A and B are shown apart, each in its own frame.
Chain A
Amino acid sequence: MSRKPLRECIAQRFEKESLTPEQLARLQKRLLRTDPVDTDVATDPGINAGAQPSAPATRFVSKHYAMLIIAAALFAVLALPRIWNQDINLPESIAQEVARNHLKMKPLELKSSSMAEIAHFFAQLDFNPINSQVFPLGEKRLLGGRYCSIQGITAAQLRYLDAQGQLVTLYETAYDPQAFSPLPLTDKGEKPLVLYAKGLKMTIWVEKDLLFVSAQAEHNEDLQ
């Protein structure tokens, strides 16, 4: 077997690895939807040494509007038929994404059973996380939360422990019918959509203009 300088060998090892086209497209789509939060608090000021003052918001916004217009025009011309087909399967795609995240059980960024604390933690979201009237687990079973995303849109992930000791994940994000396709509006008496993904029961509904997705094991029918 041929031997090479260590540096070259390591570099080649990494060059073989790349994001899949789907991953790359998802990240780039997310980056196009940038919506800077109106706050003066940097995520981690400690690593922002030498930072420059914020770029003017208008420049930031106009740049992204231009990019969005170009992207929208391209989609309209090239991919509209595909988008229609994808919309039909969007709830399934949402369920798959949330199920995948639920199974990963990434560490909570905030551990708290107080919805007020949770809401405060998620201050950088452009919506206010709330207790759902549809979701049966209350604050007493709340464990905490972390930031996440659904279909590239930033969301709050809340974790609960049900009466059977199983972890249940609830996602909340601002509901955009165009991004998420029409989904059941429980405020209008519509029943939540129930799907199965990766062996999990996924429930999707819209309540008070927020999209909710819960993920739980199938046997947790009688959550209290």
Chain B
Amino acid sequence: MTKDHSSDGNTPGDQALFSADELNRLYRYGLSLTGERDRAYDLLQTALEKYLRQTQAPASTMRYVRKIMHNQFIDDYRQQRHSLTVELDEQDLLDFDVRTLEQMVIDEQTLEQVWRLLDPLERELMYLWAVEGFTAQEIATELEQPRGSVLSRIHRIRKKLTIAMPLHDVRSMRGGKHES
């Protein structure tokens, strides 16, 4: 699990712009959005081109490039006439947090099934939580969205997990403790 502390505050002139490890992390982030290796690479390449064209050093290079990738992906996705609106349901804004996901156990095969049910923004959230180690608040800050939107999305992910997971796993999930 990684966070961006090592990259925070880097300016383009301080050192090699991105290490191989950082490029791979950004690629994986792109993969969470696109779900396809070629498209993830294209997205990363496009974002880096945009990053190189900017002249102000961002506070966090990794976050900055992720943001470019996110915005570029949304633009491309919308131009392909898909809809990525977040439907906020007040009922969803209950006491859910990423911690409701912490207690879940899953096998690889079931994860693959669930993964196909997730939309790009849900996969992005799962990536930020599981790989980058972000909390719900950090995800909301990263994506510049209200925390409620993030919680709503977590709730929908949980519903999809519930559908795909074997019954005994669902029982263990329900026994889990929710954040209030």
Chain A interface residues (CB < 8 Å from chain B): 1-11, 13-14, 17-19, 23-24, 27-28, 30-31, 34-44, 47-56, 59-60, 63, 67, 104, 106-107, 124, 147-149, 154
Q: Which of A11, A59, A149 has the largest number of chain B CB atoms within 10 A?
A: A11
Closest B residue to A104 by beta carbon equals B42
Is the Cβ of A17 less than 8 Å from the Cβ of B76? no
Compute how far the CA of A40 lies from the CA of B68 in the bound complex, rounded to whole angstroms: 18
Q: Could you say which residues of chain B place their CB within 8 Å of the CB of A49? A: 59
Chain B nearest Cβ from A18, distance in angstroms: 5
Q: Could you say which residues of chain B place their CB within 8 Å of the CB of A59? A: 13
Q: Which of B23, B80, B115 has the largest number of chain A CB atoms within 10 A?
A: B23
Is the Cβ of A19 less than 8 Å from the Cβ of B108? no
Write 5 A-B pairs (CB below 8 A) sorted by A numbering.
Answer: A1-B109, A5-B102, A9-B111, A41-B55, A43-B53
Q: Mark B61-93, 1 if CB is under 8 A from A, else 0.
A: 000100110010001100110000000000000
Is the Cβ of B42 less than 8 Å from the Cβ of A5? no
Chain B nearest Cβ from A86, distance in angstroms: 20
**Is B57 an interface position by the 8 A CB rule?**
yes
Closest B residue to A12 by beta carbon equals B108
Is the Cβ of A43 less than 8 Å from the Cβ of B107? no
**Is B16 an interface position by the 8 A CB rule?**
yes
Is the Cβ of A34 less than 8 Å from the Cβ of B56? no
Chain B nearest Cβ from A144, distance in angstroms: 12
Given contacts A6-B105, A107-B76, contact A54 B56 (CB under 8 A): yes
Is the Cβ of A5 less than 8 Å from the Cβ of B104? yes
Compute how far the CA of A166 lies from the CA of B149 in the bound complex, rounded to whole angstroms: 42
**Is B33 an interface position by the 8 A CB rule?**
no
**Is B94 an interface position by the 8 A CB rule?**
no
Is the Cβ of A11 less than 8 Å from the Cβ of B55? no
**Is B151 an interface position by the 8 A CB rule?**
no
Is the Cβ of A6 less than 8 Å from the Cβ of B104? yes
Compute how far the CA of A3 lies from the CA of B24 in the bound complex, rounded to whole angstroms: 26
Q: Could you say which residues of chain B place their CB within 8 Å of the CB of A53? A: 56-57
**Is B136 an interface position by the 8 A CB rule?**
no
Q: Could you say which residues of chain B place their CB within 8 Å of the CB of A56? A: 13
